[in-house]
Amino acid sequence: MKIAFLTPEFPHAKTTPSGGIGASIMSLSKGLIKLKHSVSVIVYGQDKDDVIEENDLVIHKVKNVKFKGLSLYLTQKKVQRLINQMHASGNIDIVEAPDWTGFTAFINLRCPLILKLHGSDTYFCYLDRRKVKPKNRFLEKSALKKANDIIAVSDYVGKLTNQVFDLDLKFRVIPNAIDVELFQPKQDKEHADRILYFGTLIRKKGVLEIPEIFNKIVQQQSEIELILVGKDASDIKTGASSTWNLMKAKFSEKASKQVSYLGQVPYSEIKDYINASDLCIFPSFAEALPVSWLEAMAMKKPIVASDIGWASEMIVHGKEGYLVDPKNHQAFSDAILKILNDTALQTTLGTAARSKVKNVFDIEVVAQKNVDFYKTVLENA
| Local structure of 327: helix, strand or coil | coil
The domain over range 180-361 is classified in CATH as 3.40.50.2000: yes
Q: Rounded to an integer, what distance in angstroms lies between the CA atom of residue 186 and that of residue 274?
A: 10
Q: For 59, list phi and psi in degrees, rounded to 5.
A: -110, 125
- Output the pLDDT for position 381: 82
Q: Is pLDDT of 355 > 90?
A: yes
| DSSP single-letter state for residue 232 | B
Cβ atoms 357, 179 nearer than 8 A = no
User: DSSP labels for 210-263?
Assistant: HHHHHHHHHHH-TT-EEEEES-B---TTT--S-HHHHHHTTS-HHHHTTEEE--
| Interval 13-49: pLDDT, tens | 899 888 889 989 999 999 999 999 999 999 999 999 9
Q: Is pLDDT of 185 > 60?
A: yes
| Interval 284-333: pLDDT, tens | 999 999 999 999 999 999 999 999 999 999 999 999 999 999 999 999 99
At 275, the pLDDT band (50, 70, 90 cuts) reads very high
| Interval 115-140: pLDDT, tens | 999 999 999 999 989 999 999 999 99
- Output the pLDDT for position 206: 97
Q: Rounded to an integer, what distance in angstroms lies between the CA atom of residue 213 and that of residue 87?
A: 52
- Output the pLDDT for position 24: 92
Contacts of residue 33, defined as CB under 8 A and 6 or more positions apart, other chains included, come to 39, 55, 56, 57
Q: Is pLDDT of 189 > 70?
A: no
At 268, the pLDDT band (50, 70, 90 cuts) reads confident
Q: Rounded to an integer, what distance in angstroms lies between the CA atom of residue 28 and that of residue 363?
A: 6
Q: Rounded to an integer, what distance in angstroms lies between the CA atom of residue 194 and that of residue 226?
A: 6
Identical topology for domains 2-177+362-380 and 180-361: yes
| Interval 49-77: pLDDT, tens | 999 998 889 999 999 999 999 999 999 99
Q: Is pLDDT of 188 > 80?
A: no
Q: For 287, list phi and psi in degrees, rounded to 5.
A: -145, 175
Q: What is the average per-residue pLDDT within 248-265?
A: 95
Q: Which helix (H) or strand (E) covers residue 322, if one does?
A: strand 321-324
Q: Rounded to an integer, what distance in angstroms lies between the CA atom of residue 248 and that of residue 235?
A: 14
| Interval 142-161: pLDDT, tens | 999 999 999 999 999 999 99
Q: Rounded to an integer, what distance in angstroms lies between the CA atom of residue 255 and that of residue 217?
A: 9
Q: Is pLDDT of 187 > 80?
A: no
Cβ atoms 87, 80 nearer than 8 A = no
Q: Is pLDDT of 364 > 70?
A: yes
At 236, the pLDDT band (50, 70, 90 cuts) reads confident
> What does the mean pLDDT of the chain come to?
95
- Output the pLDDT for position 190: 55
Q: Is pLDDT of 191 > 60?
A: no
Q: Is pLDDT of 11 > 70?
A: yes
Cβ atoms 244, 263 nearer than 8 A = no
- For residues 375 and 192, the model is more confident at 375
Give residue limits of the domains in the chain. 2-177+362-380, 180-361
At 212, the pLDDT band (50, 70, 90 cuts) reads very high
> What is the model's pTM?
0.93
Cβ atoms 39, 3 nearer than 8 A = yes
Q: What is the average per-residue pLDDT within 239-260?
A: 97
| CATH number given to 2-177+362-380 | 3.40.50.2000
